[in-house]
Amino acid sequence: MSHHQTTQINPKARRPKGTPLAWLNLVLLLIIVLACNYISCHEYGRKDLTEEERYTISERTMNVLKSTRIRNRETPIRIIFAFKKSTPNYARMYSLLEEYVRHGGGKIELECFDPIRQPNRAREISQIYGVDFKQDLCVVDARKDPSISIKTFEEEKGDRKHVRIRPGTSFVKYETLPDESRRAVALMMDEVVCSAITEAVEGDMRHMYVVEGKGGVSRDDQSLLENIGRIVSSLNIQLSWVNLDDLDSLPENAEGLIVVSPQVDFTDDELRVIREFWERERGRRCIFVALDPSNTRLPRLYRFLREQGIRPNSDRVLLRDRKRAYYDISAVFPKGLDCTKKFWNSTTHVEGQSMSFTLEHGDENEASLRKLSTYPVLMSTRDYYGETSLKLEPQFDPREDKPGPLCLGAATTKGSLRAANDMSTLLVLGNVDMLLRSNARTEQQDYLHTLWAWMSNRPEYGGKSANQDLTMKIDLNRHSRSALEYLTLLVMPLLALLIALMIWQTRRH
């Protein structure tokens, strides 16, 4: 007889037992989720995952947005982006403008609208600024009340000077192809908008003067001023021509004097005008000099530079152990000026002839009394030397030539660093080819821009620019290009011929 034993199971035993620790973990998890959502609504970050950071504004622009000129404003700056959404690179431009708002500390307001899809808003903007939406436009308004209409007959003293309107065509850089068609190569939006913000905030433009009548540059040939003009324009500086022979002194509104590649020396009266400008006690003054190494017959100008602690050596900077002159120079941005700290010890490649300088004061006590300080701004490596002769096959002679490293550019300050608004600055370059827009590399343009911002008493406006290329660009020096041409024109055809002969020989047998 089998005996079956049944066991009764309590239904409550199947239920999981809840412990106080489990409930506490659930409550903490809920608090963490709510806290993360609350924080993310107010504090959030963006990360540009593109390799070349195409959706990130430049370091220079962030310096401008963080400057006291922007952060101390009572009212925010208004940016109106009136572009059709079908415009090429619209998403990239809109993303960059959002970065202005994010880094603006509440001092940048952005409005984007399509004038085709929103005609009513386009009419309102047209009535305020007097613009016609026949093309894409970007308006930067730094007035205290941007809702007030601008009168077309307003004088420069009115609020109109605090408004900048940029056409959409200025946002893109084009290059002309051999078939005379144009191709977009760079998006200039970050540079254009940042420059417009600077101009709108300051209103009145500052003035610098370019010396004419000495050769090198003229009203008919401004190729050496192209790069400088672009830099000073972004700093709200206007360039004007001046002939020192006709003046007793520079105008009172002059903040800078530019001397580029002089071929004729200055007279005593002209040097007197330069010295009077350099010795002024009030205001910020700067002098920029770019010397052509092929012309060393400038004794009066050289004497003025020596008085400030920069002595031109009247030489040619060449590479050692070569039978022929080699002018391409591997250079370094040295330690010196604090404003260039981001560039310290980085390298660049300088093309064209260069002259070296020696930084010394004839009388250190006098230099101390005059509060003169000199700094190197561009140095060659030790592989180069200063050739003093004009031999076709130069060789380094330690008795005559100067060994490297050599100073290719120098700066002098006159005055106390504590009184930056009442100080004179002098920048001298021994190479004029790097002023050409076609020769200047990106790091050189950024470096020159930083130096010009420092000279014009805006060191916070320096820094590196953003990537603006719309196409893939490979930057090669002269010898790399020659090697590439040798490879493509000679080596690769010979290699193809050799492979063809091997195949033909194999099939023959």
Q: Do residues 451 and 377 lie in contact, with contact meaning Cβ atoms separated by under 8 Å?
A: yes
Q: Is the pLDDT of residue 74 over 60?
A: yes
Residue 3 lies in a domain: no
Give the pLDDT confidence of 418-461 residue by residue, as tens digits.
777 888 999 999 999 989 887 778 889 999 999 999 998 888 88
Number of independent structural domains in the chain: 2
Q: Is the pLDDT of residue 2 over 50?
A: no
Same domain (yes/no): 376, 443: yes
**pLDDT in the model for residue 49:** 64
Same domain (yes/no): 402, 257: yes
| Of residues 472 and 338, more confidently modeled | 338
Instruction: Lowest mean pLDDT of 1-10, 44-53, 88-97, 187-196, name the range.
Output: 1-10
Residue 497 lies in a domain: no
Give the pLDDT confidence of 58-70 residue by residue, as tens digits.
888 998 999 888 9
Boundary of a domain, candidates 436, 461, 486: 461
Residue 478 lies in a domain: no
Boundary of a domain, candidates 443, 461, 479: 461
Coil, helix or strand for 139? strand
Q: Which structural domain, as residue segments, surrounds residue 159?
A: 59-171
Q: Is the pLDDT of residue 153 over 90?
A: no
**pLDDT in the model for residue 422:** 82
Q: How far apart are CA 110 and CA 94, in angstroms?
A: 10
Residue 472 lies in a domain: no
Instruction: Lowest mean pLDDT of 39-43, 137-141, 282-286, name the range.
Output: 39-43
Concatenating the DSSP letter of every residue in 468-494 gives -BSS------HHHHHHHHHIIIIIHHH
52-66, 86-100, 210-224, 300-314, range with greatest mean pLDDT:
300-314
Question: Measuring CA to CA, how many Å separate 481 from each of 347, 435, 489, 503?
Answer: 19, 21, 12, 32
Confidence of residue 271 (pLDDT cuts 50, 70, 90): very high
Give the pLDDT confidence of 198-236 residue by residue, as tens digits.
999 988 889 999 999 888 888 888 888 988 988 998 899
Rounded to two decimals, the pTM is: 0.78
CATH number at residue 109: 3.40.30.10
Q: How far apart are CA 333 and CA 380, in angstroms?
A: 9
Same domain (yes/no): 274, 322: yes
**pLDDT in the model for residue 151:** 65
Average pLDDT for residues 361-370, to the nearest whole number? 83
CATH number at residue 379: 3.40.50
Residue 95 lies in a domain: yes
Same domain (yes/no): 163, 222: no
Q: Do residues 244 and 274 lie in contact, with contact meaning Cβ atoms separated by under 8 Å?
A: yes
Q: Is the pLDDT of residue 1 over 50?
A: no
Residue 237 lies in a domain: yes
Q: How far apart are CA 101 and CA 103, in angstroms?
A: 6
| Of residues 467 and 236, more confidently modeled | 236
Same domain (yes/no): 217, 311: yes
pLDDT more than 70, % of the chain: 89
Same domain (yes/no): 148, 239: no
* Averaged pLDDT of the chain: 85
Confidence of residue 77 (pLDDT cuts 50, 70, 90): very high
The tokens describing 264, both together, are 């004729």
Same domain (yes/no): 260, 395: yes
Same domain (yes/no): 281, 424: yes
Half-sphere exposure of 485 (CA within 13 A, CB side): 7
